[in-house]
Chains A and B, each alone.
Chain A
Amino acid sequence: MRWWLSAPALILPLILTGCGSGQDEAVRESAADFNAAVSAKDWARACDLLAPETRGEVESAAKSPCTSALAEEDLPAPGALEQVDVFGTTAEVRYRGDTLFMTEFADGWHLLAAGCTPQPPKPYDCSVHGG
């Protein structure tokens, strides 16, 4: 999703949608990493992949450490990857049966929200989320 103002306007849409960009790949890898950690019940690793605000909210809502709080969440096992959308420092990764929202930090992409189900036109209802 990195782009430059002086780029010819006709190719801007392609650039902005991250056509083949490395950002999509980085997002996809972090999301897969999180799903692998959840599926392996490696809660420490899964917690490391949460954004700080999200991790804090998980701990505060459960009044317990992140690792045990996440274990209680019963996050869904996602199906096939359907779509990745990256805009600036935020991203949405849609799987069959689950949607993840991610945000970029200095050390890579972290989970803003997980276990999300759509409820249009309202925002997704997410079992794990910040704020």
Chain B
Amino acid sequence: MRRFLEENSLSLVFGGLFLATLVGQAFAGWHLLNDELFAEGLHQISFGRYLTSASFAVDVTENWQSEYLQFLLYVIFTVWLLQRGSPESKPLGHAGKESDEEQKVGAYAQDDSPRLARVGGIRTALYSRSLGIVMGAIFLMSWLVQSVAGWADFNETRLRQLRDPISWGSYLLNSDFWSRTLQNWQSEFLAVGSMAVLAIYLRQRGSPESKPVGSPHDATGIEG
């Protein structure tokens, strides 16, 4: 048990942090919405009702979609794009999908390679892109849910302002949808871009996200 915890501590800790902060967000968002309803002389809603509200859903999914987009782009872009001196980059001169031998697929698969890396054909081709495909699918699904929940939440506000609701199609062109979307995207791109650059010159001893402390600044694709 202790060994299991130790060997999976990264995912367990982040899973726990996710749940704790999601609960925290739910309580904070519930109080915020009820404060707005109170100010407008409207009926305040229960916590359970808030959890199934469009307001909560859009606040959650607008962040989810941007996180998965960030990692999707990072996974895809780092195949082709390089950054001299960054541990986030592959070594210079290695841009691209690399050879089957380097990737240990098909005839070059090893005894302990996943079966889908060995079988070849469409299954290996799909498996070779499975991380990007799944991240991309979660991104699109989250973005779709954000658009629908955001539309419902936006219309709820419009009705309180004595204005007609708008269609989902109109909402996709509305500034509310793009403000929610782009405010999250810009922060993700800033974080990823600055990580790739800061890791050229700065170190975090023991972290695989950093080069070893003594590595030179121009050493590329080395993780500590």
Contact among B41, B148, B156 with A12 in the assembled complex (CB-CB below 8 Å) = B148
Q: How many residues of chain B are within 8 Å of chain A by beta carbon? A: 32
* Residues on the B chain within 8 Å of A124, using CB: 162-163
Contacts A2-B52, A101-B159; A88 near B40 (Cβ below 8 A): no
Evaluate contact between A88 and B164: CB separation under 8 angstroms. no
* CB proximity of A38 to chain B, nearest CB, Å: 19
Residues of B within 8 A of A103 (CB): 42-43, 160
CB distance from A130 to the nearest CB of B (A): 6
Subset of 18 A-B contacts with CB under 8 Å: A2-B52, A5-B52, A5-B57, A12-B144, A16-B54, A16-B148, A16-B149, A16-B151, A53-B41, A53-B42, A87-B159, A88-B54, A89-B42, A112-B160, A113-B162, A124-B162, A124-B163, A130-B41
- For the complex, give the distance between the alpha carbons of A39 and B161 in Å: 26
- Taking the nearest CB of chain B, how far is it from the CB of A92, in angstroms? 5
**Across the interface, do A51 and B41 meet the contact criterion of CB distance under 8 Å?**
yes
Q: Which residues of chain B have C-beta atoms less than 8 A from A59's C-beta?
A: none
Chain B residues whose CB sits within 8 angstroms of the CB of A40 once the complex forms: none
* B41 x A9 contact (CB < 8 A): no
Q: Mark B120-164, 1 if CB is under 8 A from A, else 0.
A: 000000000000000000000100110011011101100111111
Min Cβ gap B174→A in Å is: 13
Residue positions of A touching B, CB distance < 8 A: 1-5, 9, 12-13, 16, 51-54, 56, 85, 87-92, 101, 103-106, 112-113, 116, 118, 120, 123-124, 126, 129-131
Kindly report which residue of chain B lies nearest to residue A2, judged by CB atoms: B52
In the assembled complex, the Cα of A131 lies from the Cα of B57 at a distance in Å of 28
With a cutoff of 8 Å between Cβ atoms, the chain B residues found around residue A4 in the complex are 52
Shortest CB distance A21–B (Å): 13
- Contact check, B165 vs A92: say whether CB atoms are below 8 A apart: yes
Q: What separation, in Å, do the CA atoms of A105 and B141 have in the docked complex? A: 33
The contact of A51 among B42, B159, B165, by CB within 8 Å, is B42
Which of chain B's residues have a CB closer than 8 A to the CB of A13? Answer: 148, 168
B residues in contact with A92, CB < 8 Å: 159, 164-165
Bound CA–CA A4/B52 (angstroms): 5
Q: Which 4 A-B pairs have the closest CB atoms?
A: A53-B41, A90-B159, A88-B156, A123-B162
CA distance A7 to B25 in the complex (A): 21
